[in-house]
């Protein structure tokens, strides 16, 4: 299998160092010896992974965990020499009400077999129109309420304590991937909803580990379109998620995604960063139009403002803004039919992943999505 033939001593060293130097105790125990990972419910060294066709479950242990101290896991779907990292959606939380056990605001566990429920969009591996059908895919679940940025344990009071460890979880998947697939032909990073932010957070970590590989990124359906700057570090502990080698990174105590994306894109001018949204995204209305008399118009205006601001400040940022209010398109069949000005999203994304130039596109008649075949 190509996955196993790509192993290197340097990659194995990365895994061992990560496990040995984790700053947190082993909170999600795997029961495996040091230097081994639990893969498909068996302990294995990285040079002898028992990977099979289809989805393979990885339990990294170490500092990783989900919101209420349950194990974090991610999955690998072996394929060809190109690599796709997908970050799952799952909302977010920020106070005792939104963070309590059972809250509808965020996903709280990573259940066994989660990617098995994905079979549409970019997960339709039997679709000849799928530009990623032959890719090796890594599926990273959401379960911490911090859009993959957290490195903290936060007590919200009233018996509500959350382990915001999204960044540690994200890093574990990236380190495993770098150790087991050290030389992919290309890399595409994406994710929907909370995973849209995760794709931006993952990008510099991936680029740093693959400096000679072509990388492209697209966040799907979450612009994190807050206009104000927030002290996200006080709640989620986001400082470690902001790469310290990029001087222009925003202050974690006054964070806004537009500032982060601008700094990221300007630091990596040869990488295309991008964002997909529908103009009236129904889920973003819930998070970003609280109290608005017209939530649809509020989300429309905020998305357009974000896109215009980042586009003017970062020449290598692109956006595809479709009509309608659908949230999360990459795992849906609409990935193949939604279009703007006759350009299918599928074709736009395929060009992006292949390193071809794409233009930003925005719907003009946005009440309903344009479709094309």
Encode pLDDT of 248-257 as tens digits: 999 999 999 9
Confidence of residue 288 (pLDDT cuts 50, 70, 90): confident
Residues 6 or more apart in contact with residue 86 via CB below 8 angstroms: 122, 137, 138, 139, 140, 190, 191, 195, 330
pLDDT of residue 78: 96
CATH classification of 2-371 is 1.10.3470, yes or no? no
- 47 pLDDT higher than 90: no
- 351 pLDDT higher than 50: yes
Q: Which residues pair with 42 in a beta bridge?
A: 39
Give how far Cα 252 sits from Cα of 119, 166, 220, 237, Å: 37, 15, 23, 8
Q: Where in the chain are the domains?
A: 2-371
pLDDT of residue 368: 95
- 58 pLDDT higher than 50: yes
Give the separation between CA 326 and CA 61, rounded to whole angstroms: 35
pLDDT of residue 23: 30
pLDDT of residue 284: 87
- 141 pLDDT higher than 70: yes
Q: Average of pLDDT values for 167-175?
A: 97
Q: For strand 42-45 and strand 343-344, is the pairing parallel, antiparallel, or unpaired?
A: unpaired
Structure tokens at 33: 């010896």
Percent of residues, the chain, with pLDDT higher than 70: 91
Structure tokens at 324: 């309608």
Confidence of residue 228 (pLDDT cuts 50, 70, 90): confident
Structure tokens at 166: 């999204």
- Residue closest to 147 by CA, chosen among 227, 205, 62, 223: 223
- Residue closest to 177 by CA, chosen among 65, 31, 78: 78
pLDDT of residue 224: 62
pLDDT of residue 264: 97
- 25 pLDDT higher than 70: no
For tokens 């790509």, name the residue.
6
Give how far Cα 278 sits from Cα of 200, 338, 363, Å: 19, 10, 9
Write the burial class of residue 341 (CB in 10 Å: 0-12 exposed, 13-18 middle, 19+ buried): exposed
Confidence of residue 61 (pLDDT cuts 50, 70, 90): confident
Cα atoms in the 13 Å half-sphere on the side-chain side of 26: 14
Q: What is the pTM of this model?
A: 0.90
Computed over every residue of the chain, the mean pLDDT equals 89
- 289 pLDDT higher than 80: no
For the stretch 88-125, pLDDT in tens is 999 999 999 999 999 999 999 999 999 999 999 999 99
Confidence of residue 27 (pLDDT cuts 50, 70, 90): very low
pLDDT of residue 226: 61
Percent of residues, the chain, with pLDDT higher than 90: 77
């Amino acid at each position: 299998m190509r996955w196993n033939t790509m192993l290197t001593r340097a990659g194995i060293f990365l895994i061992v160092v990560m496990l040995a130097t984790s700053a947190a105790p082993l909170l999600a125990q795997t029961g495996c010896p040091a230097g081994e990972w639990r893969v498909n419910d068996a302990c294995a060294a990285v040079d002898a992974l028992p990977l099979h066709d289809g989805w393979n479950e990885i339990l990294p242990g170490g500092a990783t965990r989900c919101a209420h101290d349950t194990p974090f896991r991610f999955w690998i779907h072996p394929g060809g020499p190109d690599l796709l990292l997908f970050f799952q959606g799952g909302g977010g939380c920020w106070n005792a009400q939104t963070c309590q056990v059972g809250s509808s605001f965020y996903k709280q566990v990573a259940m066994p077999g989660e990617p098995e429920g994905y079979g549409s969009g970019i997960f339709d591996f039997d679709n000849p129109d799928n530009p990623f059908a032959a890719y090796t895919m890594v599926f990273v679940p959401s379960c911490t309420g911090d859009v993959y940025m957290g490195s903290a344990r936060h007590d919200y009071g009233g018996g509500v304590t959350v382990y915001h460890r999204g960044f540690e979880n994200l890093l574990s998947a990236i380190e495993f991937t770098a150790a087991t697939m050290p030389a992919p032909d290309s890399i595409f990073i994406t994710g929907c909803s909370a995973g849209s932010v995760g794709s931006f957070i993952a990008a510099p970590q991936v680029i740093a580990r693959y400096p000679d590989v072509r990388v492209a990124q697209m966040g799907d359906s979450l612009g994190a379109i807050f206009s104000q700057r927030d002290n996200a570090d006080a709640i989620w502990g986001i400082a470690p998620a902001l790469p310290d080698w990029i001087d222009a990174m925003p202050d974690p105590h006054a964070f806004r995604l537009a500032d982060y994306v601008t700094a990221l894109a300007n630091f990596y001018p040869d990488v295309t960063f991008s964002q997909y949204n529908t103009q009236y995204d129904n889920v973003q209305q819930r998070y970003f139009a609280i109290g608005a008399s017209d939530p649809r118009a509020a989300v429309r205006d905020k998305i357009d403002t974000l896109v215009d601001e980042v586009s003017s400040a970062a020449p290598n940022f692109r956006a595809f803004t479709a009509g309608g209010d659908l949230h999360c398109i990459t795992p849906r069949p609409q990935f193949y039919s939604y279009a703007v000005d006759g350009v299918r999203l599928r074709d736009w994304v395929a060009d992006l992943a292949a390193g071809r130039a794409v233009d930003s596109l925005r719907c003009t008649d946005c009440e309903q999505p344009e479709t094309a075949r």
